């Protein structure tokens, strides 16, 4: 599996639900991975949700910074969905991802403009550590998406 920054993945039977215990497909955006000098390589996967009502006025995530992917504009998605920038991306051992690749389907790739927005929103959120943001910055640069603000 050779992923590019911005690859959209559907991981069927994703084994680590954040909420509840239901094992179900989860959609991810591949954002990069740890540097080559780390002992264990990790990949960063931002997840999306189709539970749009949580982001509406009065919803449990109404105040969260987010972006809505509308199917009419982002046809690789099956439904409208949201990326929540107040939720940390998953950090998953690369070997675990590779072991499960039979359950992972590549659904497309986001454009550079959208990827720049995603990077900048995570940078502004302050949710990720400096090291995690440096990993993303390097991953984006290595994929040709340059000129991004470096984390301080």
Q: What is the largest CA-CA distance in the chain?
A: 45
How do the pLDDT tens digits run along the chain, 152 residues long? 778 999 999 999 887 766 656 667 889 999 999 976 778 899 999 999 999 999 999 999 999 999 999 999 999 999 999 999 999 999 999 999 999 999 999 999 999 999 999 999 999 999 999 999 999 999 999 999 999 999 98
DSSP per-residue string spanning 78-93: SS-EEEETTSPPEEEE
Phi, psi of 117 (to 5 degrees): -60, -45
CB atoms closer than 10 angstroms to residue 46: 20
Q: What is the Cα–Cα distance from 78 to 136, expressed in whole angstroms?
A: 26
Q: What are the extents of the domains in the chain?
A: 7-110
User: Nearest Cα to 18, choosing from 48, 42, 40, 44?
Assistant: 48
> What residues are paired with 7 via a beta bridge?
109
Q: What is the Cα–Cα distance from 42 to 34, expressed in whole angstroms?
A: 5
Q: What is the Cα–Cα distance from 132 to 44, expressed in whole angstroms?
A: 9
Indicate the DSSP class of residue 67.
E
Q: What pTM value is reported for the model?
A: 0.92
Q: What is the Cα–Cα distance from 66 to 86, expressed in whole angstroms?
A: 8
> What residues are paired with 48 via a beta bridge?
83
């Amino acid at each position: 599996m050779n992923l590019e920054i911005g690859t959209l993945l559907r991981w069927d039977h994703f084994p680590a639900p954040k909420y509840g215990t239901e094992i179900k497909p989860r959609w991810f955006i591949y954002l990069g991975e740890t540097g080559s000098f780390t002992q264990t390589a990790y990949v960063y996967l931002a997840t999306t949700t189709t539970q749009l009502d949580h982001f509406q006025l009065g919803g449990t995530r109404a105040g969260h910074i987010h972006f809505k992917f509308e199917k009419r504009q982002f046809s690789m998605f099956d439904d409208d969905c949201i990326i929540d920038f107040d939720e940390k991306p998953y950090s998953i051992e690369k070997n675990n991802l590779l072991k499960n690749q039979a359950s992972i389907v590549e659904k497309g790739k986001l454009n550079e403009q959208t990827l720049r927005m995603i990077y900048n929103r995570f940078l502004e959120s302050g949710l990720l550590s400096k090291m995690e943001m440096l990993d993303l910055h390097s991953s984006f640069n290595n994929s040709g998406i340059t000129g991004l603000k470096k984390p301080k």
